[in-house]
């Protein structure tokens, strides 16, 4: 079998894994938030001005690191790139720091004191899911 015949199956498996993972995460999030009796905030709703400034600072620094890493790795030989400057690493670290900052701000300033518990559980669920997919070898996708 040549590789051209394998690509459609690869993408089908990848899409099924991503959709399945998103559905499970959505369902567990819904259960956790219902149990804690908290509402989910929209992604760009900030608790106060300090939270908004912190969030945008994290986003801008993440974008700058991604651009710097891309440009720096472009100057190196193929195969000699620095792995932690690949775009997905700073993106994942930035998302992790942003979610942690959101949980901290919810802990300090949210009206519902259990809001941060739901955010931390959402973050832990996402981290465990990503580590699980990597640990099992992407479900034989590679």
Q: What is the pLDDT of residues 26-38, one digit of tens each?
A: 999 899 999 999 8
Q: Which residues contact 118 (CB under 8 A, 6 or more apart)?
A: 29, 32, 33, 36, 38, 40
Within the chain, residue ranges assigned H as helices are 3-36, 49-74, 88-109, 115-135, 137-140
Is pLDDT of 107 > 70? Answer: yes
Cα 69 to Cα 56, 92, 123, 137: the distances in Å are 20, 14, 25, 26
The Cα 108–Cα 51 span in angstroms is: 10
For residues 32 and 72, the answer to whether their CB atoms sit within 8 Å is no
Please, which pLDDT band fits residue 3 given cuts at 50, 70 and 90? low
Q: Which residues contact 44 (CB under 8 A, 6 or more apart)?
A: none
The Cα 90–Cα 117 span in angstroms is: 25
> Where in the chain are the domains?
3-140
**R_g of the chain, CA atoms, integer Å:** 19
pTM for the whole structure: 0.81
Please, which pLDDT band fits residue 97 given cuts at 50, 70 and 90? very high
Cβ atoms within 10 A of the Cβ of 38, count? 20
């Amino acid at each position: 079998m040549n590789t051209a015949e394998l690509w459609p199956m690869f993408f089908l498996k990848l899409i099924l894994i991503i959709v399945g993972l998103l559905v499970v995460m959505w369902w567990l999030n819904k259960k956790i938030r219902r149990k804690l009796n908290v509402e989910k905030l929209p992604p760009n709703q900030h608790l106060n001005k300090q939270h908004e400034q912190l969030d945008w600072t994290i986003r801008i620094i993440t974008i700058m690191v991604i651009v710097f890493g891309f440009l720096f790795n472009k100057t190196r030989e193929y195969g000699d790139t620095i792995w932690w400057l690949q775009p997905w690493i700073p993106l994942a670290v930035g998302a992790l720091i942003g979610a942690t900052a959101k949980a901290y701000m919810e802990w300090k300033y949210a009206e519902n004191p259990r809001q941060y518990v739901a955010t931390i559980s959402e973050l832990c669920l996402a981290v465990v899911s990503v580590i699980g997919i990597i640990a099992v070898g992407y479900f034989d996708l590679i």
